[in-house]
């Protein structure tokens, strides 16, 4: 029996579709909302550990989806336009990258890098205990990718996963 199903994307971004449109189709806002929620939760947990007088009003954390998308754009840009040290993207030298420095200040980038979290680690039993999931920390992105790719792509007969 010959394989005759159509392959490729099941959606059309139109003639004006850009790579970011494809990315945002596969990674929906619900993922960014979960990532914001979990990052804010983790920052709250860490700040409580540092200072027992921590209060909601004192928190500098209120990560939004818009700010998170800016952070992700910076991370992707840094993968394309590599510099020897991440601080150079904000430097006063010719190496300054306005694309980066106009999105976010360096201190906020460092804070987000330190607190970025996809899942609540307190809900995963310790290694060696029953129910421990080694993929717990990346589970949300794996679930989103699995779901959106299944809906968005008709795979070909010959498929290799590396």
Q: Which residues of 88-109 are buried (b: 16+ CB within 10 A; e: fewer)?
A: ebbeeeeeebeebeebbeeeeb
Q: What pLDDT, on the 0 to 100 scale, is given for residue 1?
A: 62
Residue 67 CA from chain centroid, whole number: 11
pTM: 0.78
Give the number of other CB atoms < 10 A from CB of residue 72.
16
Beta bridge partners of 108: none
Do the Cβ atoms of 63 and 44 come closer than 8 Å?
no
List the pLDDT tens digit at each of the 162 positions of the chain. Answer: 677 778 888 888 888 988 888 888 888 888 999 999 999 988 888 877 775 444 555 556 689 999 999 999 999 999 999 999 999 999 999 999 999 999 999 999 998 999 999 888 888 778 888 888 788 888 888 888 888 888 888 877 777 777
Give the number of other CB atoms < 10 A from CB of residue 24.
14
Q: What pLDDT, on the 0 to 100 scale, is given for residue 54?
A: 44
- Domain boundaries defined on the chain: 62-118
């Amino acid at each position: 029996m010959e394989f005759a199903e159509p392959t490729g994307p099941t959606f059309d971004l139109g003639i004006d579709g850009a790579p970011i449109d494809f990315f945002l189709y596969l990674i929906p806002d619900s993922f960014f909302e979960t990532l914001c929620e979990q990052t804010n939760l983790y920052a709250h947990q860490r700040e409580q550990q540092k200072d027992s007088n921590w209060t909601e009003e004192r928190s500098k954390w209120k990560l939004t989806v818009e700010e998170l998308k800016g952070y992700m754009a910076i991370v992707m840009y840094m993968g394309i336009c590599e510099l020897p040290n991440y601080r150079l993207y904000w430097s006063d030298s010719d190496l300054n990258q306005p694309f980066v420095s106009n999105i976010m200040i360096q201190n906020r980038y460092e804070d987000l890098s330190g607190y970025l979290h996809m899942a609540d680690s307190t809900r995963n039993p310790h290694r060696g205990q029953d129910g421990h999931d080694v993929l717990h920390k990346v589970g949300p992105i794996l679930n989103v990718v699995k779901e959106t790719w299944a809906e968005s792509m008709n795979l070909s007969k010959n498929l290799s996963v590396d």
